[in-house]
Amino acid sequence: MFKKKSKTNVTDMTVGSPTKHILLFAIPLLIGNIFQQFYSMVDSIVVGNYVGANALAAVGNCGSLNFLFFSLSSGLAIGIGVLVSQHYGAKDDKNVRVTIANSFYIVFVAAAIVSVVGFILGPWILKLLNTPDTILQDSTTYLRVTCLGIVAVALYNSVASMLRALGDSKTPLYFLIFASFVNVGLDLLFVLVFHLGVLGVALATIISQAVSAILCLIYAIKKVSYFQFHKDEWKYNQEVIVKTVKIGVPIAMQSSMIAISCMALQGVVNQFGEVIMAASTVVSRIEMVVQQPYGSLSSAVTTYSGQNMGAGKMDRVQKGFKRATLIALIFSILLIPIMYGFGEQIMGIFVKDPDVIAVGKNALRITSLFYFALGMIYVPRAVLNGCGDAKFPMINGITEVLCRISYSQIFTKIPVIGYWGIWITTCATWITTAAVCLIHYKRGKWKEKRIRA
């Protein structure tokens, strides 16, 4: 007989203060996201300090490709979370469990396919990106090993997304923190003791990802009633699968197109040599950390919007958007003096090469002035995703692709700008994409996108 346990840590966001819900949800998620970035940050720090600048460039060269492969599987997790949050907001416990059970079929199949494709085609794509011969072998090694961890990444993201859809942003944090420490320990062990170089940091990454995925799943099954299924809830449900794909695939494609645009930009970066590649790698790692508060805010707003959309409370969705915009503005303003005052020291954490540090310091000063535009991509996109607007992710993805490709070809070809066009491209892309997001939100079509039956 099915025994229902307490709904550990779940939160109903359809009542109470929107600001309080968003902040209380986003803060632990932010801490978790920062720890998740340790997977790539620690790799870069260890490689940059103990292996060399070329090895650092090799790891950074795989960043956009890894993002592409991870996005194809993890985008579905966001779609699953949207469905779960809307059913939960409508107090439809039965459909919450059915959606969660059926989601595992989609996640495992998608992740397995992406893993195999990435492993086979990754080296060929690296050559298309003009990867220098000096780092091609290390890039190929890092990419292929990390592709083997895609199933673990997809599993963790899907379980975490479902827990967050139920209002629990704390539990995934605990497992990420533990896995991050595992990653640090294994990085140092494999590189400093076993001298495995790039291979070592790649192995440390996938082992750590597997740890976080397994622990998160065990917790959910044992402690959260919505993961304790009746036999009939495990049955293939075509309606659930179709809805999940309808929401998840466009989000996955959006992320994939953004990744493709980053790959195109990486191809431009590679034309300027190892110093600029290393600087770009470090700046990208730093901006991954910068983006975590925006990403955490986005996840909070997606869950908040999904639950309130399911409950039919459109006014609360709009209030949530306004509060999140204010939070993004305050954070963006606070970051500018940090990047101007301590950019050199921050760069120095990752690499010791003075030429790389000099370029990266000024790159951070350029991009920090436009962080609010970056934030205003995340906030309206979160509302639209949470409300189930399946068309918008494709519009957003196409915008970023066109901007990064066209702007990079324009700015880097201007002699007085040169490689600084790499970061000017990033800023111009943020501004254009934010404008598209805000226009789509203001049109109000999202109010008609409630997806639960």
pLDDT (tens digit, 9 = 90+) per residue, 176-191? 888 888 988 998 899 8
Radius of gyration of the chain (CA): 21
pLDDT at 361: 94
With respect to residue 71, please indicate whether it lies within any of the assigned structural domains.
yes
Residues 71-78 have a mean pLDDT of 72
pLDDT at 41: 67
pLDDT (tens digit, 9 = 90+) per residue, 288-303? 888 888 988 988 898 8
With respect to residue 328, please indicate whether it lies within any of the assigned structural domains.
yes
With respect to residue 13, please indicate whether it lies within any of the assigned structural domains.
no
With respect to residue 395, please indicate whether it lies within any of the assigned structural domains.
yes
Q: Is the pLDDT of residue 342 over 60?
A: yes
Residues 88-98 have a mean pLDDT of 85
pLDDT at 1: 34
pLDDT at 30: 80
With respect to residue 57, please indicate whether it lies within any of the assigned structural domains.
yes
With respect to residue 7, please indicate whether it lies within any of the assigned structural domains.
no
Q: Is the pLDDT of residue 345 over 90?
A: yes
CB within 8 Å of 293: residues ≥ 6 apart: 26, 30, 331
Domain count, the chain: 1
* pTM, rounded to two decimals: 0.71
pLDDT at 372: 96
Residues 383-388 have a mean pLDDT of 82
Host domain of residue 179: 18-448
Residues 233-253 have a mean pLDDT of 80
With respect to residue 9, please indicate whether it lies within any of the assigned structural domains.
no
Q: What is the mean pLDDT of the chain?
A: 84
